[in-house]
Structure 1
Amino acid sequence: MHQPLSRIVSQLKSEPSRTGSLIITVFGDAIVPRGGSVWLGSLLAFFEGLAIDGSVVRTAMSRLTAEGWFERTRSGRNSFYRLTRRGEQTFAGATRHIYESLPTEWNGSFELVLIGGTDDREQARTALRDAGFGSPLPGVFVALTSIASPDAVEGAIRLQASAGSDMARRLVAESWALERTAEAYRKFTASFAPLKASIERGEALTDGQAFTARILLIHHYRRIVLRDPLLPAELLPGNWPGRQARALCGEIYRLLLPGAERWLDAHATNEEGPLPAADAALMRRFADEDEAR
């Protein structure tokens, strides 16, 4: 296998099993832009390239379906999966967070959410953190006003607050584990920069390797960025590594996209046959990074 990619795969295998999370990445990054439905055999072909047993993939798909992420249809002995309505809504928010441009300005306001009166505090905490909220105190959550509160948090008290830059930076530092996020971005950059360098040196990837690299790139990146509140630069510590990591991710993604899409053309099918061509939005992912260069 291509050496930098081999190291990334080895890193994945050294971690606890994340087959379900990888399936989520495959759907969000590659299947949704191409109609949203895929044959189970197409997923098995991808995971075979990672030496992940088909029984593990089937078990993960069954669990995700039971949890309400996917719905399954059958045609003879073949199973096909697509996102449920709930899954589509969750993916839409995650897609914006991962691929669209970063905020550049802050209007001086925060949204505060108090969850002391909710029936299920743990569910509320999870929903708010997944939506990008931080927490400076137990039961108190904060976000920029541009982030909408999840509808799932019923009974919460919502307030609008303003703050000067110094106080805002203190609030940010107390609400989010920014250093932990920064370290995750640094590790991401260290892991994937050699892949970019090797491609630019002309060390070619097969189409299958390009698809594998694309999925692992987004798999690693989304695990960090979906926990990142994506704050404007004025509220972040100096030399914030998230912007470097995002630029690197966008550059590699664009290099991998042609070969990865060819692999899908050749190997991925749905109920009607080969997957349809990707929608135009796929080519606009990380477009702000192209404009920045």
Structure 2
Amino acid sequence: MTLAVRGFDGLSDIQQRLTVRAPAMIVTIYGDIVVPRGGVLWMGTLVEICARLGISETLVRTAVSRLVAADQLVGERDGRRSYYRLASGARTEFAAAARLLYGPQAAADGFLIHHVPGLSDEVARRFRLGRMGPDLYLRPRHPENAPLSGLTFRADAIKDGGLLADYAATLWNLQSFADEYRAMIDLFTPLMTALKRGETLLPADAVSARLLLVQVYRAVLLRDPRLPADALPRDWPGLAARRLFGGLYRSLSPLADAYIGTFCEGRDGILPAETDETLARLESLSLEACL
């Protein structure tokens, strides 16, 4: 049965509402499909996956060249075939993103205050810092926080009185994150509803749908400072977005992984449908759903 409910024409409805850019999607493909299956992908497979998402071969090859130049990917040839793997410098970044996407979502344990003279706005955004004043920044305390130079102090709100959320809203643009989470929920809920009713997708479309889900969620999650609950607005949609991501990812994975294990090629042949890492991701998302 093909998917078509209440004007929701399967995958095409999602694709029509998204702008899919080749560099970002290739990063998503490597993070979701390739890295947990050995890390190497044949260019022909990459072109085929992207074609199903409306990205032309020319755009794919241009994006790959730029990712190579940016030390994100490394190419190798075998006869007339080209294969690409993650550059060593990109592995740490990909691993950190994977832990956030597929690992357990630990709540922030208070805050850190950083005194860092001369910090650029770009670095402050990358570290998801809230600017408190000249050379002074606040961020939630998470185990995976990358270290910053300068002075660092631990901080907790001793007396809240409801002011913490108001103050946090002056340091981070929480409304923009909330809007993106709600847009994601609006975009993917019809698909989740249809799958719960027993409707299904073609295996290749399950791959495309899962990649789009990961890309949309990843785009906001990696910028979200993930503040403690008492620093967030009452109607914060991040938790609902997380539940939707985990549930839909698990629902799409049997078909998607079966397709990957049949048609997607790496350096040593067809990629495995499952690996210890892919199974660990699903288990983590399943356990999280039970909490």
Q: TM-score, normalised by structure 1?
A: 0.87
Q: CA deviation at 1:105?
A: 6.0
Q: How far apart, in 1, do the equivalents of 2:246 and 2:94 lie?
A: 19
Q: CA deviation at 1:220?
A: 0.4
Q: CA deviation at 1:143?
A: 1.2
The match for 1:273 among 253, 269, 273 is 269
Moved over 4 A (4+): none
Say if 2:154 is the partner of 1:160: yes
* Preserved contact between residue 33 and residue 282 of structure 1 (Cα < 8 Å): no
* Preserved contact between residue 75 and residue 83 of structure 2 (Cα < 8 Å): yes
* Preserved contact between residue 94 and residue 226 of structure 1 (Cα < 8 Å): yes
Q: CA deviation at 1:200?
A: 1.8
* Preserved contact between residue 164 and residue 230 of structure 2 (Cα < 8 Å): no
* Preserved contact between residue 135 and residue 174 of structure 1 (Cα < 8 Å): no
Q: CA deviation at 1:81?
A: 1.0
Q: Residue 6 of structure 1 aligns to which amino acid in structure 2?
A: S
Structure 1 counterpart of 2:112:
111
Alignment CA distance shift 1:105-1:165 (3 Å): farther
Say if 2:11 is the partner of 1:8: no
Q: How far apart, in 2, do the equivalents of 1:176 and 1:169 lie?
A: 11
The match for 1:247 among 243, 246, 254 is 243
Structure 2 counterpart of 1:169:
165
Query: Tell me, which stretches of 5 or more residues in structure 1 are unaligned?
Result: none
Q: How does 1:1-80 map to 2 (within 5 A)?
A: 2=3, 3-12=9-18, 15=19, 18-80=21-83
Alignment CA distance shift 1:282-1:98 (3 Å): closer
The match for 1:215 among 211, 215, 226 is 211
Q: Residue 287 of structure 1 aligns to which amino acid in structure 2?
A: S
The match for 2:190 among 171, 194, 199 is 194
* Preserved contact between residue 114 and residue 157 of structure 1 (Cα < 8 Å): yes
Q: How far apart, in 1, do the equivalents of 2:271 and 2:231 lie?
A: 43
Q: Residue 49 of structure 1 aligns to which amino acid in structure 2?
A: R
Q: CA deviation at 1:93?
A: 1.0
* Preserved contact between residue 103 and residue 232 of structure 1 (Cα < 8 Å): no
Query: Tell me, which stretches of 5 or more residues in structure 2 are unaligned?
Result: 4-8
Q: CA deviation at 1:165?
A: 4.9
Alignment CA distance shift 1:192-1:137 (3 Å): farther
Q: TM-score, normalised by structure 2?
A: 0.88
Q: CA deviation at 1:147?
A: 5.0
Structure 1 counterpart of 2:290:
291
